[in-house]
Chain A
Amino acid sequence: KAGVTQTPRYLIKTRGQQVTLSCSPISGHRSVSWYQQTPGQGLQFLFEYFSETQRNKGNFPGRFSGRQFSNSRSEMNVSTLELGDSALYLCASSLEGSSYNSPLHFGNGTRLTVT
């Protein structure tokens, strides 16, 4: 079974641009969540989608947005990029519905560098 796939693996953008990251979950997984990882802040929750609906959102500005498609694939978008957005963006999928009983499975991430 294929794991969680994130594309692209690396991205370099300049300040003010926007970027879209993609995540394909494990087949059959309906929940997708996104995280930002930086050396200073560690892993921080961005948002979670289940059945095309955003179920939870972390404390990030509105420049960060996401969506989930009917095949459970998800995208996240960051507009008006800032230097501080440079980070490893991780996507995770799980089987769970509302019970949160299933383990998370992570992709290898997209490394975003903003110059």
Chain B
Amino acid sequence: KQEVTQIPAALSVPEGENLVLNCSFTDSAIYNLQWFRQDPGKGLTSLLLIQSSQREQTSGRLNASLDKSSGRSTLYIAASQPGDSATYLCAVRYYGGSQGNLIFGKGTKLSVKP
């Protein structure tokens, strides 16, 4: 079964700390992997999209890596700020099965304390 798992479910850090969010997936046959953030009551905001042929993507203080062989992706947030507080979701688009189906993890709820 194609699944996506995110650990931890919640994380609280002091402002200024560098942190890593984890995402694991069960099948290496993927089109791509995308990281999103979701603020309470809102939709998802796309942060980074990594194609299956890529190893990492960077945007500002964010860096996402992809290791298909181990079925893992990490989202690195440098110098965290209270405004980074949100739920971060990882989504994997798998080949095969329901082709093009996007599977989401349940997210990591991040709280950055001032």
Contact = CB atoms under 8 A, between A and B. Distances in A.
Contacts, number: 58
Interface residues of A, number: 27
A106 B100 contact: no
B98 to A, nearest CB: 5
A42 interface: yes
Interface of A: 4, 6, 33, 35, 42-45, 48, 55-58, 90, 92, 99-109, 111
Given A56-B100, A106-B44, A108-B41, 10 more contacts: A33-B102, A42-B104, A43-B89, A43-B91, A48-B100, A56-B98, A56-B99, A101-B32, A107-B43, A109-B42
Interface of B: 31-32, 34, 36, 41-46, 49, 51, 89, 91, 93, 98-107
